[in-house]
Structure 1
Amino acid sequence: MKINWGTAIVIAFAGFIGFIMYFIVSMSTNSKYEHDLVVEDYYQQELKFQNEINKEKNAKKLSKNITWKKTKQGIIVTFPSELNEKNINGKVFLYRPSNKALDFEIPISLSNHNLLIPDNNLLGGRWNITIDWSYNNEAYLYKEEIIY
């Protein structure tokens, strides 16, 4: 049996398509290849994006924004000292990109314009911190990537 060039090309294309289809099916059905969205309610969060932009603009208008530093006790978040700490409220959300089971949220309760995020809640590595806070009915947002 003799195979001409046209038949060989069709066999090569069919083999290549079969090879690619094998990888597509195995990647989409194998449970060890997770391809979840970063957050569960991605589309709802997208709709709130303009609100976040406005909050970040408000934070940039402050004479001094939120700062943080790493200590033995954990992370100390410092709010601007010119603000009355009793009028500051909101929440701090720490997001771990490598493992969503480690994500957590804490309410803001200040002492001397400082908030301590305890060391026992934090593992070494990358964290994204989002502080959604308000002062005198004005909303602010602070986002930072932290390597702990």
Structure 2
Amino acid sequence: MKLHWGHKIGIVYALFAGSMIFMLILSMQEKHELVNENYYENELAVQGKINADKNLKTADFDVDISSANKQILVSFMGLPSGDVPTGTVMLYKPDDSSLDQTIDVALNADNKMLIQPIGDHGRYKVSVRFKMSGIDYLKEKQVVL
């Protein structure tokens, strides 16, 4: 039996429909998670985050977030003597919320903090939120381990 142009159009249409159904099934099996349980409530507090970020940009000190040897290094550079930051470091793993962590800021003698994430590798959103002398500060950065 010879295939004419009508058969070929039908075959192309069937292949297209089959591939769409296959992609739909794959997308339904994908795990979709929010960054945290109260994601929408936290996003309403955006102005506080903007102010804290602006406070850090105008401060006389800086916070650096980097990765080294599958660990996250948070460095406080140029801190005023006598001021100790209090706050939290939050590690958000976008692809698996069970690996999210919240750690209190605890600096060593060099004003650094080394964090070992629960997960081995991948992308983390690191958020350092702290307070010194009654002023809120915020530093956020994406880190890949």
Greater displacement, 121-130 / 68-77: 68-77
Query: Among residues 67, 79, 86, which one is paired with 1:70 in the alignment?
Result: 67
Greater helix share, structure number: 1
Alignment of 1:128-139 (within 5 A): 128-139=125-136
Q: For residues 63 and 35 of structure 1, do their structure 2 counterparts lie closer, same or farther at Cα, with a shift above 3 Å needed?
A: same
Partner Cα distance (1:75, 1:115) in 2: 8
Larger Rg: 1
Aligned partner of 1:43 in structure 2 is 40
Alignment of 1:23-62 (within 5 A): 32-62=29-59
Q: Shift in Å at residue 36 of structure 1?
A: 4.3
Residues 77 and 115 of structure 1 are in contact (CA less than 8 Å); yes or no, is this contact kept in structure 2?
yes
Query: Among residues 85, 89, 103, which one is paired with 1:92 in the alignment?
Result: 89
Aligned partner of 2:142 in structure 1 is 145
TM-score (norm 1): 0.70
- Same amino acid, percent of matched pairs: 26
Aligned partner of 1:114 in structure 2 is 112
Residues 85 and 110 of structure 1 are in contact (CA less than 8 Å); yes or no, is this contact kept in structure 2?
no
TM-score (norm 2): 0.72
Aligned length: 128
Residues 92 and 106 of structure 1 are in contact (CA less than 8 Å); yes or no, is this contact kept in structure 2?
yes
Residues 33 and 97 of structure 2 are in contact (CA less than 8 Å); yes or no, is this contact kept in structure 1?
no
Partner Cα distance (1:75, 1:86) in 2: 23
Partner Cα distance (2:31, 2:73) in 1: 34
Partner Cα distance (2:69, 2:39) in 1: 35
Q: Shift in Å at residue 45 of structure 1?
A: 1.0
RMSD, aligned α-carbons: 3.1
Partner Cα distance (2:40, 2:65) in 1: 30
SS of 2:77's equivalent? coil
- Structure 1 gaps of 5+ residues are 1-18
